[in-house]
Amino acid sequence: MTSLRGIGAIFACLLAGAGMLWGAAARADTQIFPIPSASTSRNDGNDVGLIVPILMTDPDGELKYLLAPMLIKNSIVGTRGTLNVFRYDSGGRQMQFIGSFTERIERKIMFNYTDPAFSNGRYFLNFGGAFFKNATARFFGIGQATPESNETNYTDREARANWRFGIYANEVTQISVSQRFRQVSLQEGATDLPFTVDRFPTVDGVTGESLIFGNRATFHYDTRNNLVSPTDGMAITAYAEINQNIRNGDHPVYSRYELEVKKLFPSESKRAILVMRADIQATLGTQVPFFEQSSLGGQNNLRGYGVDRFIDKNLVAVSIEERIHIARTKLAGVTADFEIAPFLDTGQVFNDFKDVSFKDYRMTPGMGFRGIVRPNMVGRIDYGYSKEGGAIFAGLDFPY
């Protein structure tokens, strides 16, 4: 999914959704919504710029394309130009393309195709690939006790390819198989922080090139009433994955496992929805690259810390938030809902399950603000507080 960061993400989401629904009731049309954007984040610095969502409908008034060119000035890597393109077809099929070029170091090109009702709804199909350079990645070392003073920076240079094929056992249960390829190397970063390769040369995955080939089997059970903006139900996802680090001749094989449970508890009016998420991850093997291990911190867990703040082989995390409806208004003739969402994230990473201790859990309370055009558009800004000062994240989806 594209990341239209900052305050503009909320309004881009709402106006795009409004234009889409308005266009469905009118003749084929093109809607353009220039939107200023401003943001700040723990790792990526400050952004200011312009987003221009362009919505194109077919002769029947259905949204066919969503284009979102962006021009952003970043305090670390300079000016960034980005083009986001979505194509929508019947049956929920969707194609996504992102191309981005930044003044300093960063590059990105990504393609993704999803068909949730392949072959008359019997199967799920997804495939895609990407190449990118993220110049503001951080690494503090392995483990829960890594101090903030250990912070280093590197450019994460990656190439990825993946496919997934699923079979629906019934309306709420899917079993799928997938494969992925990941090429990773660390290069000089864009900040004044120490270079990760100089500070942590002995950590697995830091030096040289890693070539990861993975095979995964996934079980997914989902009774939520909507995949994008649910108000009720639960989802359970479990996977087992066998991976090979082709560049590692001594210990190339390792495995990863995850069990994630999400449950929504709506009030009778659905003006308040309690959402809980529990996540357990495990990695078995030796010499596993650090970027293939479990991590805490970022927009989806432990939101008071920057992305990948804590890294280790295993993870236990619990999050809870209360999504409270505060306002409803009309935008371009459609209804937009606004919510606040106080939350608490907690969790820890560890090398072995015998090391789990309640005293080692990190906790980050915070507050979220969301704009929703149901059923298909969500924009959010979350602020989480931590002992390291807190972090702000924005995106076009719920955190879970």
| Structure confidence at residue 61 (pLDDT) | 63
109 CB-near residues (< 8 Å, 6+ apart): 98, 99, 100, 130, 131, 132
| Structure confidence at residue 372 (pLDDT) | 86
Rounded to 5 degrees, what angle do the CA atoms 394, 396, 400 make? Answer: 85
> Are the CB atoms for 76 and 136 separated by under 8 Å?
yes
What average pLDDT does this structure show over 25-48?
76
Maximum mean pLDDT: which of 64-78, 214-228, 231-245, 355-369: 231-245
Any idea how long the chain is? 400
Per residue in 133-157, pLDDT tens? 999 999 999 999 999 999 999 999 9
Per residue in 57-107, pLDDT tens? 777 766 678 888 999 999 999 999 999 998 888 777 889 999 999 999 999
Per residue in 331-342, pLDDT tens? 655 578 899 999
Query: How far is Cα 400 from Cα 273, in angstroms, rounded to an integer?
Result: 13
What average pLDDT does this structure show over 358-385?
86
The average confidence (pLDDT) of the chain is 88
| Structure confidence at residue 117 (pLDDT) | 87
Per residue in 253-265, pLDDT tens? 999 999 999 999 9
| Structure confidence at residue 65 (pLDDT) | 83
| Structure confidence at residue 62 (pLDDT) | 67
| Structure confidence at residue 376 (pLDDT) | 66
| Structure confidence at residue 25 (pLDDT) | 40
Query: How far is Cα 11 from Cα 370, in angstroms, rounded to an integer?
Result: 10
Query: How far is Cα 186 from Cα 153, in angstroms, rounded to an integer?
Result: 10
Burial classification of residue 292, based on how many CB atoms lie within 10 Å of its CB (0-12 exposed, 13-18 middle, 19 or more buried): buried
| Structure confidence at residue 93 (pLDDT) | 86
Phi and psi at 354, nearest 5°, equal -70, -15
| Structure confidence at residue 183 (pLDDT) | 98
| Structure confidence at residue 8 (pLDDT) | 47
Q: Is 338 left (phi over 0), alpha (psi -120 to 50) or beta?
A: beta
pTM: 0.85
User: Does the pLDDT of residue 313 top 50, yes or no?
Assistant: yes
Of 28 and 107, the structure prediction assigns the larger pLDDT to 107
Token pair belonging to 100: 């981005």
Exposure of 142 in the CB half-sphere (CA atoms within 13 A): 21
**Residue 390: pLDDT band with limits 50, 70, 90:** confident
| Structure confidence at residue 114 (pLDDT) | 93
Lowest-confidence pick of 50-54, 61-65, 70-74, 309-313: 61-65
